[in-house]
Chains A and B, each alone.
Chain A
Amino acid sequence: MKSKIILLKTMLRSTSLSNIYKYTKDKKKKKKVIASCIGLFCLYAMLMGYSIAMCVGYGKLNIIDGVPVMCALIISAFSFISTIFKTNGYLFNFKEYDMLMALPFEARTVAACKFMYMYMKSLPWYLSISFAMMIGYGYFARPSIIGYVLWIILTFFLPIIPMLFAAFIGFLIARVSSGFRKSNFIQTVLTFIFVIFCFSLQYIIDAIFEDDKVEVVLTKTSEMMDQAGNVYFPAGWFSGAVKEFTVSDILLLIGVSVLLFSVVFHIVGNSYRRINSSLKSHAAMKKYKMTGQKKRSVVNAIAFKEFRRMTGSTVYMTNGAMGEVLAVLLGIVTLVIGFDNIISLITKGAPVDSAILQPAIPFIVYFFIGMVATTAFTPSLEGKNYWILQSLPIDKKTVAKGKMLFNMYLTVPFMTFGILCLCISAKVTVINTILYIILGAALCAFSTAWGCVCGIRHMRLDWENEIEVIKQSAAVAIYMFPNMFVVMGLIVLVVILGMHTDHRVLTLIFILIASILAGLSYLRVMALSNKKGW
């Protein structure tokens, strides 16, 4: 136990902003730490505001009883998905593996501490959601003081079970992959398959509810929440504990979390060294023959370097290309099932004329494609290899152009494919299809350039683990969250405007706006490249 505490404490300290702030002599770094803290608190506040607003809605609609289950489900889903993306990089295949494994730590101690580290680092997000929902619930439901105490204590256990499941799946993926020569590639493919399965799960659950003939109407939401609690037991246990103070529910949530933790890390510990040995090693063929070398332009050479960087990292690949894979999947599924059926599935059979949704097609595909722009993290991703670019006779603007070109190569073909599939399925006219594809390309250009602005402005080279920059950096958060919310709003706006305006005119207006924004962002990138001299 003592060694676990020492290791966990050191892991947390080694990435804590307070430690950097306290000991760094670099004033710029101190400022960055403060900015990161402010940014993080803003995001927590946003999340809390959203959670409270949700509770207010539930309270006004007199369905406040469903809030505990809803809270448990949100935290569980959030923790499960984020852990899936982080397992490789945090639990396996991490940088300081050699240093830790050479010290007298058991393999399962290292694995368990890495998991606990992941848990502690993400805890503020879950606490923000939970405590805000507790306040909202408390305002309307007026529970006794025990309810609050139990809510606070059990919140700490809520993410453990889903995180353990996600970590265990990550372990299985890593274990299977480690048996192959191209272990990284296999790991990437398996992670993609699993994440796609998770996204499909929502529809499978919907189908289960529909089979049970549960009316999906507002007044039945509370019942639905109870049903959800019956399907996902920990949510039910949490709800039972905070609403009725059921001792068995409290014990079950705590007991199962602790038991699962012990079981999972007993299993993981047994093959931890073998998996990491395999993932950190690369088979050498030594059969290369010097033939067919190609000359590329500098910008293309940088773009190609980015491509190789992406394919060489499971974390980069699963985070950077997930939107593209989902867009392709959406396109294929729409072609097979039909645009009308997809709309009917999403709107739960509501009488919506699919024709009014046509102008939103580029934005629907962009919602996936624009989820992540590689340019938001590739400047930081240079990390300790930054010296290579610094020492080469390359203008910094050219570096930025290369990184942007790679994101365009990555996004535009998938964007075009997704739009084409949706247009064919929705029987959109040829002219409109072309206009939608142009709008899609303009949106990709904006996403690329705006991502690059965020990436350069919040560039951070001193990272320990690439997840820190790909998934958790300020640059990615600043790019991603506003982009996602704006796109969701735009989809609604375009549909409303489309009912009163000609679709072609509307699309042309949006092409113009997207192009102007892309142009302005590009100019900002060029200015930043000059000014910051990164």
Chain B
Amino acid sequence: MNNTGILEIKHYSKSYGGEKKAADDVSLTVMGGDIYGFIGHNGAGKSTTIRAVVGVLDFTEGEIYIDGHSVKEEPMECKRVTAYIPDNPDLYENLTGIQYLNFVADVFDISAADREERIKKYADTFEITEALGDLISSYSHGMKQKVAIISALIHEPKLLVLDEPFVGLDPKAAFTLKEIMHEMCEKGTAIFFSTHVLDVAEKLCNKVAIIKKGKIIASGTMEELTEGHSLEEAFLEVENEK
């Protein structure tokens, strides 16, 4: 297992102009090989943190480092090693699935042979190969999600960031994604994802952070956090305490 800190969030805060902070002094580290779950209520600050990590959201307080590069100072270096799957992917609807995947492969300068092999591998796994020639506008939410996932895996990122990745996926695709996450984790990829589904987090993650009203109220390895209880019990206990 790789012991390098691929993602380091240090004292990150974000306010949207209101008095309350959407993220307040968030600090955490995701190592290579970690599957790090980020859990909390709706509006707790999960997406605000994730969007800052992937370079979409501007921020002034704190620092975020990916593979040793600052997201603020060297965004391009960070983005080259990161892949992001949003909760509701806004893809180019009037491109076909394969056109979109080729676009992402072009952006990451993936060779023709590599992209063909990877697209085929993941498209077959997610059983979407036959639909790749259709316009994305004709896809269901789950199919769009699958295309977004394939586009994220195509360049073999060092850090994979997912926002509620299992929403909209059918059970088989959800299982496949979990398998892929394990596979990537074994290769040293750091995975950071938000979820509401505590059962999934409990089975999948080795580390977890709980966020409430923008603040991390608990974090650590799964064993440290649960102390023999279920994650659901631990989550509710911590939530009620703070």
Contacts and interface: CB of A to CB of B under 8 A. Distances in A.
Contacts of B99: 10, 13, 19
Contacts of B16: 281-284
Interface string A456-498: 0000001010000000000000000000000000000000000
B107 A19 contact: no
Interface in B9-43: 16-18, 20, 22, 43
A17 B13 CA distance: 44
Interface string A253-282: 000000000000000000001101110011
Nearest to A276: B58
A278 B17 CA distance: 9
Contact of B82 (A15, A102, A283, A286): A102
A20 B99 CA distance: 12
Contacts of B59: 277
Nearest to B83: A102
Interface in A1-49: 3, 6-7, 10-11, 13-16, 19-20, 23-26
B22 to A, nearest CB: 8
Contacts of B80: 104
B93 A98 contact: no
A25 B108 contact: no
Interface in B80-130: 80, 82, 84, 86, 89-96, 99, 103-104, 106-108
Interface string A85-96: 000000000011
A392 interface: no
Contacts of A278: 17, 58
Contact of B56 (A23, A24, A95, A101): A101
A106 interface: yes
A165 interface: no
Instruction: Give the one of B76, B84, B99, B137 with max A CB within 10 A.
Output: B137
Contacts of A15: 94
B56 A102 contact: yes
B224 interface: no
A511 B137 CA distance: 46
Given A99-B86, A282-B16, A284-B43, A277 B58 contact: yes
Contacts of B95: 10, 13-14, 19
A105 interface: yes
A149 to B, nearest CB: 34
Nearest to A96: B90
Given A23-B133, A464-B94, A286 B20 contact: yes
A180 interface: yes
Contacts of B43: 284
Contacts, number: 106
A282 B18 CA distance: 9
Interface range for A: 35 or more
A3 B20 CA distance: 39
Contacts of A19: 94-96, 99, 135
Given A104-B76, A104-B107, A274 B58 contact: yes
A181 B18 CA distance: 7
Nearest to B79: A104
Contact of B79 (A10, A103, A276): A103
A346 to B, nearest CB: 44
A285 B18 CA distance: 6
A98 B58 CA distance: 12
B62 interface: no
B134 interface: yes
A105 B55 CA distance: 10
B17 to A, nearest CB: 4
Interface residues of B, number: 39
A16 B55 contact: no
B137 to A, nearest CB: 5
A97 interface: yes
B57 interface: yes
A104 B93 contact: no
Nearest to A14: B92
B93 A102 contact: no
Contacts of B76: 104, 106
Contacts of A97: 56
Contacts of B178: none
Contact of A105 (B18, B57, B107, B138): B107
Contacts of B54: 101-102
Interface string B48-81: 0001001111110000000000000001100110
Contacts of B22: 284
Contacts of B51: 98
A476 B75 CA distance: 41
Nearest to A271: B58
Contact of A273 (B58, B84, B89): B58
A14 B135 CA distance: 10
B107 A283 contact: no
Nearest to B78: A104
B137 A462 contact: yes
A462 B93 contact: yes
Interface string A73-95: 00000000000000000000001
Given A10-B103, A462-B94, A104 B108 contact: yes
A286 B43 CA distance: 11
A274 B75 CA distance: 14
Contact of B92 (A273, A274, A464): A464
Interface string A152-196: 000000000000000000000000000011000000000000000
Contact of A98 (B56, B107, B137): B56
B17 A20 contact: no
Contacts of B96: 19, 23
Contacts of B137: 462
29 contacts: A10-B92, A10-B99, A10-B103, A13-B95, A14-B93, A19-B95, A20-B94, A23-B133, A24-B135, A26-B138, A96-B91, A98-B51, A99-B89, A99-B90, A101-B54, A101-B55, A102-B86, A104-B107, A105-B79, A181-B17, A181-B18, A277-B59, A281-B17, A283-B16, A283-B18, A284-B16, A286-B20, A462-B94, A464-B94
Interface of A: 3, 6-7, 10-11, 13-16, 19-20, 23-26, 95-99, 101-107, 180-181, 273-274, 276-278, 281-286, 462, 464
Given A285-B18, A462-B137, 13 more contacts: A13-B94, A14-B95, A20-B135, A23-B133, A23-B135, A98-B51, A99-B91, A102-B82, A104-B79, A107-B75, A180-B17, A281-B16, A464-B94
Interface of B: 16-18, 20, 22, 43, 51, 54-59, 75-76, 79-80, 82, 84, 86, 89-96, 99, 103-104, 106-108, 133-135, 137-138
